[in-house]
């Protein structure tokens, strides 16, 4: 065999693997066992049966079609099918669910009387791998009204979808077929299947002109296909409708496109577009809207992100929205639509885009909308300024960063500016807070080399490092300071002002929410001032000079300092909090749970008093830490300090993200030279 044949063989093998999305359902066509004739109470291999009534009034059967059945009713595949009345039929597939996967269960069905909601299919989970395991926990279900069996099976199967969560991972997937016992209708079923790949009929915004379904007149509570609806009041006071123009509306109000439009008061309308978001893709939503009273900011349009691609997925996480004041409906729609745009960030990538139309419940105005459209511009490699084209401006960026690198193991490489204030704390359970830094021989030290306040000529060197304890959820801090003019505070009671002694200021915010306004109560973030007392111990205060005394709940701060000539070695144990109520006296104190990958706000400032002044050193120049946690550096808890490419970020021009800006990136830029990706056109 030659090399080309091997390549072809491997490609075919990869294609076969990538296309294999079917989950094994045993006997989904009901062909086993083979029955000579239709028979009541004949069961099918692989399936479990249970009466769904409380009076044992159900029925089932299986086999080839009965001669008396309508001619149109033919098996979908093979020769056999089943029929159930008020019965549950289910199977444990033996497949363990994977978080994030979307499972689609389908079944063809027809009914004797086509009663509303007479047929149900469902996806369930169970902890048992047994094929005879009883029904588990229902995760998703849907009721249908199958067409009457005289017309045979419908052309398309009925489907239900479910996207597994982390709580479902590892559990066993079950599927259920049910004839609703409250409807007492006979249901014929065939060709049952399940897949773990959800393929939308079409990705993008659908029915933006609200033309489907067609209403003969304006219809209160009339819904539009592809849109989801939810009252956004707390008292259920919203309303909506759809259809052609209502005769009593102002004559200037005519549909933008087609004949129909949508109206809603205190309601959310949203659609899952099934577009999987990619970083730096720009989405543009255009909406024609008017309102009954033209109240300020009564209409909200926005982008949301959902982990699920399903059309019925609940409204996900807001990523961008704008409040709009539509003109009065007496003037009709404006010639140009209202437009909002959003460029996706890294945190959005992989999620599915949803669009929202909302009548603000706090403003209570009637919104009429039409002509909704969505366009999006995929990001082009080399488009560093995100204007949807690769041109000379992007080339300038690449030239300015030529041969720069962010590889933590590379010679001469540095952190990208966006990662400059992020450091890592490895896990450790053997730190003793005594000021003797023998446990810190392997530490990664962060240089505090910036004049944070005035200058500190008597403090030529300062650096710090951190570790975290996964058992006690505390941060360990070590600081080395060289101080050639030592002025110590003897105890907390001698404290007079923040600039009168040698000290450390420690800042911590467990939630990493960049909170503000905490400077007097330290509830959402904490600031401590500590220092050596000249007698082998330390003093410690809140950032305002308030004692960490017995009449307040202990925040858990433990400190030590060893003075050896001009060398000061600090050590501290700091407890991060989601909320600390000790000073304000409101709410419950909640200690932060530290985990691998957890990021918190954490910073250190060293202050030195000398005979002729006071100065402070820090690793950054983000001023205002005393009342703004957004000015804290960031600390990430890890098992071991990572050295992989990416932990120092990437330069803008590092297109292939290998931590080096070089000819590979130039080639990627050149491949898109002068290409435009903006659906509105480039100018």
Q: List the CATH number of the domain containing 360.
A: 2.60.120.260
| Residue 488 placed within a domain | yes
Same domain, 155 and 273: no
Reply yes or no on whether the pLDDT at 282 is more than 80. yes
Within this chain, do residues 174 and 245 fall inside the same structural domain, yes or no? no
Residue 26 CA to residue 91 CA, distance in Å, equals 8
Identify whether residues 361 and 462 lie together within a single domain.
no
What pLDDT, in 10s, does the model give residues 132-182? 999 999 998 888 889 999 999 988 899 888 888 888 989 999 999 999 999
User: Has residue 185 been placed in a domain?
Assistant: yes
Contacts of 54 (CB under 8 A, 6+ apart): none
**Between β-strands 172-179 and 119-126, what pairing exists: parallel, antiparallel or unpaired?**
antiparallel
Task: Please check whether residues 162 and 263 belong to one and the same domain.
Answer: no
pLDDT the model gives residue 11: 34
Asked if the structure places residue 658 within a domain, the reply is no
pLDDT grade for 386, boundaries at 50, 70 and 90: confident
Is residue 295 within 8 A of residue 258, CB to CB? The reply is no
331 and 458: one domain? no
423 and 510: one domain?
Answer: yes
φ and ψ at residue 148, rounded to 5 degrees: -65, 145
DSSP line for 53-70 = SSSS--EEEEEEPPTTS-
Share of the chain above pLDDT 70, in %: 95
| Measured distance CA(139)–CA(104) in Å, rounded | 12
pLDDT confidence of residue 554: 84
Give the tens place of pLDDT for each residue, 586-599: 899 999 999 999 99
Count up the domains in the chain and report the number: 3
Instruction: Calculate mean pLDDT across residues 64-72.
Output: 94
Residue at 389 is within a domain: no
Residue 119: what pLDDT?
94
Whether pLDDT at 8 is above 60: no
608, two tokens: 């030195």
Mean pLDDT across the chain: 91
Q: Within this chain, do residues 264 and 310 fall inside the same structural domain, yes or no? A: yes
Q: Check if the beta carbon of residue 490 is closer than 8 Å to that of residue 536.
A: no
Indicate whether 20 pLDDT > 50: no
Q: Which residues pair with 109 in a beta bridge?
A: 189
Report how far apart, in Å, the C-alpha atoms of 268 and of each of 228, 314, 355, 371, 534 are.
Answer: 8, 11, 10, 17, 65
Token duo for residue 386: 């995100």
Residue 113 is assigned to a structural domain of this protein = yes
397 domain residue, yes or no: no
Predicted confidence (pLDDT) at residue 308 exceeds the cutoff of 60: yes
Q: Which of 162-176, 199-213, 337-351 has the lowest mean pLDDT?
A: 199-213
Place of tokens 């960063």: 401
Distance CA 547, CA 542 (A): 6
Distance separating alpha carbons of residues 35 and 407, to the nearest angstrom: 68
Q: Looking at the structure, do residues 137 and 250 belong to the same domain, yes or no?
A: no
Final residue before a domain boundary, out of 315, 346, 377: 377
- Decide if 207 is inside a domain: no
Smallest CA-to-CA distance from 315 within 364, 267, 380 is with 267
The secondary structure of residue 290, as a DSSP letter, is: E
Same domain for 442 and 370, yes or no, is: no
CATH number for the domain spanning 581: value is: 2.60.40.1190
Sign of the CA dihedral with 175 first, then 180, 181, and 186 last: negative
Q: How many CB atoms lie within 10 A of CB 497?
A: 8
Strand order in the sheet with 352-359: 228-231, 267-276, 352-359, 299-306, 317-324
Give per-residue pLDDT as tens, 455-510. Answer: 999 999 999 999 999 999 999 999 999 999 999 998 888 888 999 999 999 999 99
Handedness of CA 252, 255, 256, 258 (dihedral sign): negative
pTM above 0.75, yes or no: no
Q: Verify that 305 and 176 share a domain, yes or no.
A: no
Q: Which structural domain range is residue 532 located in?
A: 417-638
Of 12-26, 371-385, 624-638, where does mean pLDDT reach its minimum?
A: 12-26
Same domain for 48 and 93?
yes
pLDDT of 3 reads 36
* Residue 172 and residue 102 share a domain: yes
CA dist 677 → 351, 355, 582 (Å): 21, 21, 55
List CB contacts of 557: < 8 A, sequence separation 6 or more: 528, 530, 540, 548, 572, 573, 574, 575
């Amino acid at each position: 065999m030659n090399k080309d044949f091997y390549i072809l063989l491997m490609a075919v093998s990869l294609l076969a693997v990538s296309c294999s999305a079917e989950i094994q359902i045993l006997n989904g066509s009901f062909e086993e066992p083979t029955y000579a004739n239709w028979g009541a109470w004949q069961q099918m291999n692989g399936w479990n049966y249970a009466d769904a009534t409380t009076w044992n009034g159900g029925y089932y059967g299986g086999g080839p079609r009965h001669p008396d059945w309508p001619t149109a009713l033919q098996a979908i595949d093979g020769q056999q099918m089943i029929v159930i009345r008020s019965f549950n039929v289910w199977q444990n597939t033996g497949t363990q669910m994977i978080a994030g996967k979307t499972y689609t269960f389908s079944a063809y069905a027809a009914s004797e009387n086509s009663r509303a909601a007479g047929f149900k299919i469902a996806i369930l989970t169970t902890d048992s791998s047994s094929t005879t395991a009883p029904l588990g926990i229902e995760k998703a279900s849907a009721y249908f009204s199958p067409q009457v069996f005289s017309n045979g099976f419908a052309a398309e199967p009925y489907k239900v979808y479910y996207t597994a969560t982390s709580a479902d991972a590892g559990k066993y997937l079950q599927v259920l077929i049910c004839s609703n016992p409250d409807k007492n209708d006979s249901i014929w079923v065939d060709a049952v299947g399940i897949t773990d790949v959800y393929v939308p009929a079409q990705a993008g915004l659908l029915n933006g002109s609200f033309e489907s379904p067609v209403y003969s007149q304006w219809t209160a509570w009339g819904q539009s296909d592809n849109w989801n609806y939810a009252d956004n009041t707390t008292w259920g006071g919203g309303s909506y409708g759809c259809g052609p123009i209502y005769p009593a509306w102002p004559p200037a109000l005519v549909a933008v496109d087609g004949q129909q439009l949508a109206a809603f008061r205190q309601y959310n309308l949203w659609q899952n577009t099934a577009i999987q978001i990619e970083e730096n893709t720009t989405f543009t939503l255009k909406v024609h809207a008017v309102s009954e009273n033209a109240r300020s900011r009564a209409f909200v349009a926005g982008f949301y992100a959902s982990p699920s691609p399903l059309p019925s997925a609940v409204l996900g996480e807001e990523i961008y929205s704008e409040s709009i004041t539509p003109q009065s409906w007496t003037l009709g729609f404006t010639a140009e639509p209202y437009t909002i745009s959003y460029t996706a960030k890294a945190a959005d990538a992989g999620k599915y885009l949803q669009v929202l139309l909302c009548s603000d419940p706090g403003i209570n105005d009637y919104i009429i909308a039409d002509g909704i459209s969505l366009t999006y511009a995929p990001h082009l490699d080399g488009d560093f300024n995100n204007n949807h084209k690769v041109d000379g401006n992007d080339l300038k960026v690449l030239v300015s960063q030529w041969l720069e690198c962010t590889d933590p193991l590379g010679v001469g490489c540095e952190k990208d500016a966006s990662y400059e204030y992020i450091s890592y704390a490895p896990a450790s359970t053997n730190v003793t807070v005594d000021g003797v830094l023998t446990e810190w021989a392997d530490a990664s030290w962060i240089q505090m080399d910036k004049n944070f306040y005035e200058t500190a000529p008597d403090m030529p060197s300062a650096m710090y490092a951190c570790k975290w304890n996964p058992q006690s959820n505390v941060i360990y801090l070590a600081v080395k300071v060289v101080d050639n003019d030592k002025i110590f505070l003897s105890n907390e009671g001698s404290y007079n002002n923040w600039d009168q002694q040698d000290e450390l200021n420690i800042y911590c915010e467990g939630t990493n929410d960049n909170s503000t306004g905490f400077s007097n109560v330290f509830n959402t973030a904490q600031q401590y001032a500590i220092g050596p007392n000249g007698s082998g111990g330390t003093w410690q205060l809140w950032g305002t000079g308030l004692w960490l005394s017995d009449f307040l709940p202990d925040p858990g701060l433990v400190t030590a300092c060893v003075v050896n000539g001009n060398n000061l070695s600090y050590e501290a144990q700091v407890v991060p909090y989601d909320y600390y109520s000790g000073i304000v006296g409101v709410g419950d104190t909640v200690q932060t749970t530290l985990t691998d990958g957890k990021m918190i706000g954490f910073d250190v400032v060293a202050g030195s008093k000398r005979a002729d002044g006071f100065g402070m050193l820090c690793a950054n120049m983000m001023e205002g830490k005393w009342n703004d946690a957004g000015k804290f550096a960031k600390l990430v808890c890890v098992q071991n300090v990572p050295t992989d490419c990416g932990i120092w970020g990437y330069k803008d021009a590092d297109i292939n993200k290998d931590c080096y800006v070089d000819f590979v990136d130039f080639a990627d830029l050149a491949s898109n030279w002068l290409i435009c990706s903006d659906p509105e056109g480039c100018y």
